[in-house]
């Protein structure tokens, strides 16, 4: 049986040599609309800032992604639900990426987060 996920988030942060400043960011969300989509607006907001600042602002960055997503109502959820889940999971992905960059793991906090 095939089950399509309600939401998929891919996020990568590239840090400077000192590990303090975000010099590159990629954020993509899939399964909420007709095709996966990157969010350059979120990527631009993350770049050029310290990792600490990006993590402190994770909620706002996630809200920008949620506002930009174009979800479709379907059997997996309403557009509003998918927009809310985009906000939640982009924030979580930022927190997980930040924790990993600082040498910490956050699997206990988000047990269903898949990280490769």
| Digit-coded pLDDT (tens) for 12-38 | 999 999 999 999 999 999 989 889 999
3-state SS assignment for residue 26: strand
Residue burial 15-40, b: 16+ Cβ < 10 Å; e: rest: beeeeebbeebebbbebbbeeebebe
3-state SS assignment for residue 94: helix
Banded pLDDT at 115 (limits 50, 70, 90): low
pLDDT digits (tens, 9 = 90+) for 39-95: 999 999 999 999 999 999 999 999 999 999 999 898 878 999 999 999 999 999 999
**The domain 8-101: what is its CATH number?**
3.30.390.50
What letter would DSSP give residue 10? E
**What pLDDT is recorded for position 75?**
83
């Amino acid at each position: 049986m095939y089950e399509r996920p309600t939401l998929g988030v891919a996020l990568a942060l590239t840090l400077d040599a000192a590990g303090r400043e975000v010099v590159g960011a990629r954020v993509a969300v899939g399964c909420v609309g007709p095709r996966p989509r990157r969010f350059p607006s979120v990527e631009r907001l993350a770049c050029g800032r310290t990792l600490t600042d990006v993590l402190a602002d994770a909620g706002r960055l996630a809200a920008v992604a949620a506002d930009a997503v174009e979800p479709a109502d379907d059997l997996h959820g309403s557009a509003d639900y998918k927009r809310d889940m985009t906000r939640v999971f982009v924030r979580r992905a930022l927190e997980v990426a930040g924790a990993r960059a600082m040498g910490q793991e956050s699997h206990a906090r988000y047990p269903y987060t898949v990280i490769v």
